[in-house]
Every structure is written in C-alpha cells, then in structure tokens.
Copies of this chain bind each other. A is one copy, B any other.
Amino acid sequence: MRMSKLAPLICRTQRQAHALFSSFQIAMASSLVMCTLQMRGRGSLVKCLQNVDKLLLRGIGTNVVSAQAEATRKEETDEKVGHRSFYAVQVERQEQAERSVLISCPFRVNEKRFHKYLLNHGDINKFFFYESHSVYAVVEFASRESVTSLLEAVAIPIVSDESVVPFKSRLLSLRNLGAVESPNQPVKQCQPQTTIPINELIQRLSKEESIDQQINSLTEAYQLTEENSRLRFLVCSLLKDIAAAYFPECTIKPFGSSVNGFGKLGCDLDMFLDLGGISGYSVKRPKSGLSLEYGMKRANSERAVTQSILSVIGECVEQFGAGCVGVQKILNARCPLVRFAHQPSGFQCDLTSNNRVAMKSTELLYLYGELDPRVRYLVFTVRCWARTHGITSSIPGAWITNFSLTLMVLFFLQRRSPPIIPTLDYLRDLAGPADKNVIEGNDCTFVSDFSKIQVESNKETLEQLLFEFFEFYATFPFSRMSINIRKGKEQNKPERTPLHIQNPFETSLNVSKNVNSTQLERFVALCQESSWLFQQSETNTRRCNGTPIPWGLATLLLPSQVAGIKSRRKRKREPATERIKSLLESLKNKKLAT
C-alpha cells in the first residue's frame, strides 16, 4: 500500500527534477501587471516536494492550524487515518462528535481565558475556531462526562421582548459580561470552512511549478479540512440528539461527499438516519405462552415509516433548532428527506433515512480514494474543472452529477494499462463473510480490508493521467457503450439514453439517466478543448510581470470558448483563449521592448 502511494510521487520527482528547476511567480493585481522573476533554488523545491510527500502519506491532506495544539499521540493517530477502514474512521469521528460542543463566541474574546474556563469541566482534546456569520468554537472534551458537567452550568438565555424555545442542545453561546476585552486582543485564528474563489485558485495554481503540483495545490485548497470534517460529524451528532429523543438507539451518519474522500469545502452535508440498531427486534419470542409486544403504529410500507419519522424530526428541527432555517420536508421524493440550512456550521443539510445503498456507495468511493492517492487528486481536479465550466451544477437538472463524474474518473483509472484501481467485481471477490451485504436485493458486497487488495504498479503522473482523461472521454463511444466500474470495461448500452453509467450496486439503474445529449456534447467538447489546451500548455513559457500568468491546469479553469460550450455561470470572466492570446501578445511585446 505504502509503496503504491509513493509511486507517483517518485515518478513526479524524477520528472520535476529534470524539467522544473526554475519557476515564475506570477501575480495579477487589478490592472497593474508587474513582473518579478524569482529563481527558486534546489533547496526550496526539495522542501516543497517534502510537503507533497507528507501530504500523500497522510492520505487526507489537511491544513490544520489548531488553536490548541493536540497531543503528539493524537497527531500520530490521525497520521494513520488514511490506512484505516471506512467504518473505523466513522466510529472514531462519531465518538469525537459526541464529546464535543459548538459555542458561538463574541468576536473578541480572550482565547486563553476561554480555554481555562472550559478546562474546569475536564481535559480538552481539540479546540478550534471558525467563522460562519459569527465566530464559533468547536470544543472536543476527552470525555462525555465533561460535556454533562459543562451543560449543568449553562443558563437558559433571558432575552428582552422575546421568548425562547427551551429546547436544550450542545449548541451554546458564550457571554462575556462586565470586563471589556482589550481592543488589542488578537482576532482568533479561524479555520477556513469554504473554498477560495476560483480566480484566487487560478492565481495560486499559476504560481506552481508543475502540473502535478497544480493538481496537489487544487486538491489541498478544495478538500475538507480536519476541522471541517469534525464539524460535519458534530452537526450529525447534534441532529442525532433530536432523533434519539424518540429512537435512543439511532445514529445519524454523514454520507456522500462529506466522508467519501472527495468532498469539497462547503459541500452539502448529506446525513443518513440509521434505525438499524433499535433493540426489540431481536427479543426472543416464546413458541408458546404469553409474550409482550410494543403497541406500535402501523404503516403501509417502510417508506411510510420513513416519512413519519422524518416528518417529526423535520418539525422538531424547524420549531426547536436554533440556527436551522429554510426547513423543507420533502417527503414525497423517491428518497424522502428533510432539507435545511444549519447556520452555525454554514452547511446545507439533507437528512434521509433508510438509505443504506448510498452509504455503501460512499464506502466504495472512500476505498477507491484510499487505494491510490492519484484517485482523489484526479477526482478533485476533474470535479473542479467541471464545476467551473458549468458541466455540473448545485441545482438538479439535465447535467452530469458529481457522482457520475467520479464514476467516470474511476472507470478511466480502471482502463489504464496497467490499471490503477481494480474493478468492483474484483473487490467483491475478495470479500470475506463479514463483508457480505445485500440491501433490498442488491448485492453490495465488497472487501473492507485494504491489505487484501493487490494494486498493479502503474507509474503514470497526474499530468499524464489528466491529459489522458480528457483524451479518453473526448473519444469515448458514448452512443454505443456504457460505463461500468463493476466490470471495469465498456459494456453495450442497455438503453438509448445519451449517457449510460451503471449504478455500481443497483445495477439495473443508470446513474446518469438525467443527462441529455446537449449536456453530454458540452462535456465531450470541453474534454476536446481541454486536451488541446493541455498540449498547447506544454510549450508555454511562463513569463511574469509581478502577477503569475495562468498556465497548465490554471488555463483549463479559465472560461471556455469552445463553440456551443457556454458556461451557465461566470460569463463575466473573459474567455480563456482570448485572455491567453492577449497575455502572450503582451509578453511578446515586453520581450521585444527589453
């Protein structure tokens, strides 16, 4: 495992060693274009690559600047997170969340005093700030008893001219009475909870020295941080408290982007109410004689039960949930859900129930992401590229979804020679008895033990892979063939929809049934354009005038000018080819002038 993760790094290191000993740092500041040429020494490159190395070893790269340094032991545990099974990580995160509270803070509060105040209730494992409308602190105690102790000292707010719904949760509010904090009080270091704007990203990428580094940089800027991940589990835990009032044995688990390894900062929080742990199903019934059953409300179907439960939870979130706004009970959807915005975390939340196939899909994606780090890098890059060009969208429609796009990347990686990741059928064949999992007639079995999986030693760089990805789908026979990660081979299409991607578990379903031919054509055309730009980019010299000039991956994120590919968003930005042309022109003129 460890070797296979290092492979692309070694490969990239070699490539970078002979190609990239110098770099241009280019920044564009408003209309003023200033160029400063800065030759980077060998030492700084080595340091840079060491960082990448560390990032790759971690599996999940994080830009943690914890307000409270964690114990070294703890750090070491996190270091190993990447090598642990999906469920082990989930359980640990859930436990952390149960021991945590979320506290809204005044903007200027003395961090040390606050920390000392909290320590009265027990040891603290983790303590960080972030900003979302207001400043919030996440405090993870070492034990749940500390939370109980803390809550005993918490008052119900008394507000003039208003009333409060006296529903108690672990969402608290810090008051700082009397003493005025010094105006020199440093503003707390806040953890970012959203991605940087696309233009800032393009600038950042333009400064990188290789396309591989650009891909790393993009992933690092976009992926969930350690803190954001904890916050997601904490929101689930707060919601679990609401559901557990009626179903004490329930759990609420995040699924999808929040935990599959491909989540972007700011992505929606999809949650799954799991009632599977309810006792009483397994109570022994005597074959004869008296026995007791609960007097329970009957419903026509499991779906109706789910609707009932979500209706109550939705009502509670709406009526009692501080900072929960825009609550919608979408109970007649194929998969009934409660949607709301959780202001304290800034998450758009979807709560579903009885959605276990989605949970298995999440686990599968996580597994693929962990098998080889290139999987995550490529998925992040392709997703960012697609979103920038309006191939995907946050609103539902005829576009390709992130899930479809991820399956396309996985399929592409299965089709490399040698393959970078194995097929789902292979993973199923490796499964042990404990992995057996059939959900509503769908075989969702696959191996959970990473050590059983043999990965072939493909040495392609990220740059190569990204280019090949565009080439692959620019020429894919979409009209005849179906994408199938279970087999890892194109299959004949069973139906006439423009794009056919087999659902990995519900194999009779097409994941991209919604996609119309226009959207597919846009995707193909954009792949063609990107592949072409990629080739152009190879020959680009990256000059500077104080501001970095977009190159490589950055170029691919500039607005497209391909005929018929109109991005639905960000039309204001200049077309890429136009902008590149004018930049090249200005550089040429500058060169001539000097």
Interface residues of A (CB under 8 A from B): 102-104, 109, 113-114, 117, 150, 153-159, 162-169, 171-179, 242, 245-247, 275, 278, 280-281, 283, 285-302, 304-305, 308-309, 311-312, 315-316, 319-323, 344
Contacts and interface: CB of A to CB of B under 8 A. Distances in A.
A162 B168 CA distance: 35
A165 B117 CA distance: 43
Contacts of A166: 247, 275, 278, 280, 294, 296, 305
A156 B290 contact: no
B162 A300 contact: yes
A313 to B, nearest CB: 9
A294 B172 contact: yes
A156 B292 contact: no
A176 B290 contact: yes
B300 A171 contact: no
Nearest to A113: B290
Contacts of A103: 292
Contact of A293 (B175, B309, B323): B175
A304 B311 CA distance: 20
B162 A295 contact: no
A509 to B, nearest CB: 24
Nearest to A301: B163
Given A158-B281, A168-B280, 8 more contacts: A163-B299, A163-B304, A163-B305, A165-B298, A165-B309, A167-B296, A177-B286, A295-B322
A114 to B, nearest CB: 6
B176 A294 contact: no
Q: What 8 A-B pairs come out closest when comparing CB atoms?
A: A178-B288, A245-B245, A171-B295, A155-B283, A156-B280, A308-B319, A164-B296, A315-B315
Nearest to A159: B298
Contacts of A288: 177-179
B162 A296 contact: no
Give the residue among A103, A163, A174 with the most B Cβ atoms within 10 A. Answer: A163
B297 A165 contact: yes
Given A278-B156, A287-B178, A312-B315, A292 B165 contact: no
A166 B104 CA distance: 35
B299 A162 contact: yes
Nearest to A166: B278
B322 A297 contact: yes
Nearest to A101: B292
A171 B292 CA distance: 10
Contact of A294 (B154, B177, B301): B154
A155 B319 contact: no
Contacts of A344: 295
Contacts of A298: 159, 162-165
Given A114-B290, A178-B288, A165 B308 contact: yes
A319 B298 CA distance: 10
A332 B587 CA distance: 71
A165 B316 contact: no
Contact of A305 (B165, B176, B290): B165
B164 A305 contact: yes
A308 B320 contact: yes
Contacts of A290: 109, 113-114, 117, 174-177
B163 A302 contact: yes
A311 B319 contact: yes
A544 B401 CA distance: 90
B177 A285 contact: yes
A157 B294 contact: yes
A294 to B, nearest CB: 5
A585 to B, nearest CB: 56
A276 to B, nearest CB: 10
Contacts of A164: 294, 296-299, 305
A174 B535 CA distance: 76
Contacts of A165: 296-299, 305, 308-309
A282 to B, nearest CB: 8
Contacts of A176: 289-290
A178 to B, nearest CB: 3
Contacts of A242: 246
Contacts of A309: 165, 319
Contacts of A278: 156, 166
B289 A179 contact: yes
Given A177-B291, A294-B157, A312 B301 contact: no
A295 B245 contact: no
